[in-house]
Amino acid sequence: MTALYHYNSEAEALRIGEEFAAATLPKAEWTHGAHWAAAFWLILKRPDLNPERDMPGMIRRYNDSVGTPNTDTEGYHETITLASLIVARAFIAQETGAPLRELCNRLFASRFGKSDWLFAHWSKEVLFSANARREWVPPNLNPLDIK
């Protein structure tokens, strides 16, 4: 599988997390890959924060800063955020000690590098529901794992 995203340096991957947290990342750079980089950065580089507690507010703040409304149809999505953090933590556990850039690039080369990975676990109807956007909704198709 060819990676859709790739970071050439550790600084590049770190910048994504830092600018996301500061709500200064250009909107065009808030890609599927940047979401993963931000999740890894938050887990690995910000031990003062709890990703499951703090990332939702950070995403909402970031969205506000770039003019993306947080509604029942766009912006922040609780189920996708928490699912991504579950996968990110499991991926980090398997890739112990890898630098941020390498973690990102390895994940990008996996099935999680494509934004449709969620549909192996949730139907579109469930995932795109207002309920799933507002709160955690468990997978309705297959358990969430990183295998």
Residue 144 domain-assigned (yes or no): no
- The model carries a pTM of 0.92
User: Does pLDDT of 91 surpass 70?
Assistant: yes
pLDDT at 4: 57
Residue 102 domain-assigned (yes or no): yes
* Cα–Cα dist 35/81, whole Å: 9
Which pair of tokens denotes residue 24?
């200064």
DSSP the chain: ---S---SSHHHHHHHHHHHHTT-S-GGG--HHHHHHHHHHHHHH-TTS-HHHHHHHHHHHHHHHTT---SSSSS--HHHHHHHHHHHHHHHHHTTT--HHHHHHHHHTSGGGSGGGGGGTS-HHHHTSHHHHHS----SSS-----
16-69 per-position pLDDT tens digit: 999 999 999 999 999 989 999 999 999 999 999 999 999 999 999 999 999 999
How does residue 2 score in pLDDT terms, banded at 50, 70 and 90? very low
Mean pLDDT of the 68-87 span: 96
Residue-range definition of the domain harbouring residue 44 = 10-134
Residue 142 domain-assigned (yes or no): no
How far are the Cα atoms of 27, 70, 106, 136, 145 from residue 4, in angstroms, in the given order? 18, 26, 11, 27, 21
pLDDT at 97: 86
Residue 124 domain-assigned (yes or no): yes
pLDDT at 145: 81
Mean pLDDT of the 66-82 span: 96
Work out how many domains the chain is built from and give that number. Answer: 1
Asked if 87 and 142 touch (Cβ cutoff 8 Å), the reply is no
pLDDT at 95: 83
Residue 1 domain-assigned (yes or no): no
How does residue 98 score in pLDDT terms, banded at 50, 70 and 90? confident
CA atoms within 13 A on the CB side of 77: 18
Residue 118 domain-assigned (yes or no): yes
Residue 143 domain-assigned (yes or no): no
